[in-house]
Amino acid sequence: MKSQSTQRNLKSLLLNSEILAVVAILMALTFFLTTRGLPMVLTILVDFAVFAIITMSLNLETGFTGIPQFGRVLAVIAGAFAVGAIPGRLLAALMGLPAGLNYTIDTVQFQVSPELTAALSGSWMLSLLFLFICLVIAALSGAGIGWLTSRPAIRLREAYLGISLLAFGDFLMWVGHNWVPLVGGSTSVFVPDPFRIFGGARFEAVVIAIFLAALLVYAYLNRLTVSPFGRALKMVRDNEVSASAAGKDIVKIRTQSLVIGSMLAAIAGGLYVIYTGTVTAMGYSRLVWTFWPWAFMMLGGIGSTAGMLLGVMVLTIMRTLITVYRFEVFGFLMAWGINPLWLEFTLMGAVIIGVILFLPHGLVPEKVQSILPASRVNSILSKGFGAKLQ
């Protein structure tokens, strides 16, 4: 009897989607490490960290508050544009270099950018200060965008709000593409590199810094969502009428959720442009910066912060596998006039359909949590009903 119970527990453990996902992730990372080397693994980790922050911010607004956030790209763009447009100008002005509207022109960029990076690479204090300013500016820009988008969120619901937020993201992208003084228009603007101080270990330092930022965001959101504010978010999501009857300010709660979520997404956008070293307006499409985070969130489990990490990592690895091996595996399609270059979107679409069909609640479904501690519930039950909660 005991052996049968052990076998059932072992079988249940092996069939657990979370365990299977972790095992698959470790196997995939080991495969990339042995076949492509450490740089490929580090690239996966930095992509994972950036999109983990963005997806967790999306989950805060959609999974916990119930806002149809189809404009996640808006906050990411705000953070990226702010870091690309402001800190470099401030440093250039401090050094007596061109810092006005012509700062983003190619000829000025090729002259100014190397001098700014050289100044940062020669001073630990200046590099840390510049990085801090970048993150503060990104956070403030994201908070401002979050507050602005909360205005229509007060009045619009469902599809109307989702479409509005989607349009706002495209609007800001086209502003950056057409207004050259912002981030160079159709060309790129360089971002002074505060990590150049690490010399040859620059890439590893960036990966560690962004990965640590993702862990801090995860810890912060874990604490936030189990706090009274987090329970208020879920109350608004589940039933606004009941939340209003309980005295909750729906407008204030929605505004706070959008401000916090947009601030985190903007920080991720700022970190990403520091990592890549450039800002190109057309690089911030709604496909990559809105729909992919939605796919990550659905796979991980809407409303589950821990699920976000699994969802992002699994799909990031799958995207990398498709991108790296699409020509090797599907090169024969060229004879039929099909270019494997576009298979990333086709295969990832098939993956998303499979997630919806077979894992509708994600890898880590949201768990129902008791508002009161178990000891308090036991005390109430023992006094009122003579029973205890196990």
- Binned at pLDDT 50, 70 and 90, residue 2 comes out as very low
Q: What does the pLDDT read at residue 371?
A: 59
DSSP SS3 for 285: coil
8 A C-beta contact, residue 5 and residue 297: no
User: Residue 157 phi/psi, 5° resolution?
Assistant: -135, 160
- Is 331 inside a domain boundary? no
User: Would residue 171 count as lying in a domain?
Assistant: yes
- Phi and psi, residue 156, nearest 5°: -95, 155
In 10 A of CB 153, how many CB atoms?
23
Domain coverage including residue 146:
34-324
pLDDT reading at 5 higher than 90: no
23 inside domain: no
Over 80: is that where the pLDDT of 31 sits?
Answer: yes
In a domain, 141, yes or no: yes
What is the pLDDT at residue 274? 96
pLDDT at 1: 47
Give how far the C-alpha of residue 231 lies from the chain's centroid of Cα atoms, to the nearest Å.
22
225 in any annotated domain: yes
- Say what the pTM is: 0.89
- Measuring CA to CA, how many Å separate 195 from each of 116, 130, 314? 12, 10, 28
Q: Is residue 1 part of a domain?
A: no
Q: For the residues 360-367, what does the mean pLDDT come to? A: 78
The pLDDT score that the predictor gives to residue 13 is 43
* 222 pLDDT higher than 70: yes
Give a yes or no: residue 332 inside a domain.
Answer: no
Tens-place pLDDT, residues 156-175:
766 777 788 888 888 899 99
Instruction: List residues bridging with 278 in a β-sheet.
Output: 190
Structural domain count of the chain: 1
Contacts of 364 (CB under 8 A, 6+ apart): 17, 18, 300, 301, 304, 306, 307, 310
What's the first-to-final CA gap in the chain, in angstroms? 24
Q: What pLDDT score does 271 carry?
A: 96
CATH number, domain of 163, equals: 1.10.3470
Residue 65 and residue 252 in contact, taking contact as beta carbons nearer than 8 Å: no
Band of the pLDDT at 208, cuts 50, 70, 90?
A: very high
In a domain, 221, yes or no: yes
Query: In this predicted structure, what is the pLDDT of residue 374?
Result: 63
pLDDT band at residue 6 under the 50/70/90 scheme: low
Determine the average pLDDT of the residues in 267-286: 93
